[in-house]
Chain A
Amino acid sequence: MSDPLAINHTNTANETHDLNKVIQILEAALLSSQEPLSAQELRRLFNHEFTASLITNQLEQIRDKWTNSCIELVQVASGWRFQVRPEIQPYLDRLTPQKVPRYTRAVMETLAIIAYHQPVTRGDIEEIRGVGTSSAILKTLSVRGWIETVGHRSVPGKPALFATTVNFLNDLNLRTLEELPPLEEMKSLIAIDLSST
């Protein structure tokens, strides 16, 4: 056997030893990667020796193993990544005196329309917001890698159609678009003012 990780199925002691090594290799890969890694991508670490479900199994074990530490393993849209535990984050923020700027309401509203109504054109966005949308807003979002053009609508001017990216889901700790906070029902928006009058 040329593969040092080949598992001897008759020897349980060997097997646990090897699985420990698998876990170490997975941890090293995840800790040194800048991007989230999927179970399929991680199979390459072992020359596709293991199935994706076995890798996923090990990833879940790693997640449990790190439960009581400063960092955690989470699953996002394009795979798994290590990140600082949310309860530790406020302490880290003290190291950097200047606050990370939050996006303006105009940027967030534009992002919300693209996320919930995609694919949409700039005209659709302006229609809902009732105000012009500057190119700077769309540029901010595409430079961040959160939105991209996925086509053009066949109306005069051929306006670009925008959609959100996988990176957008990754950066918001989400796995799918379905995990976005649900839109408030129109009925409940009306109900607010019926109850207040």
Chain B
Amino acid sequence: MGPIGLQHYLVLGAILFVLGVIGIVSRKNAVGILISIELMLNAANINLIAFSRYSNKPIFPTTMPEAAYMDGQVFAIFVIILAACEAAVALAIILNLFNMFGTIEVDDADTMRG
């Protein structure tokens, strides 16, 4: 176990991503699938931030030198914002679905046809 380098973050990101995939493939509960989607998005965010930390390639010229490596971090902020949007809409649909039909299992599709 040497010093912590970029690879450690990448492996962590890959493991979380794969756990997210497993959850989405295996779960039926809508909230459960959302939890797994959040895991996937977070895994990608870890990668983005780790790369922006270890990147040695400044982006196009900017008047603020310390901002030159911040691309990945800014992208990660947008990911967080959009994840929040998605969760809000998802919750609205899930609540409505549950209040009307009493289940949020995604697979009961064909039996639920009205």
Same complex: no
Interface of B toward A, CB cutoff 8 Å: none
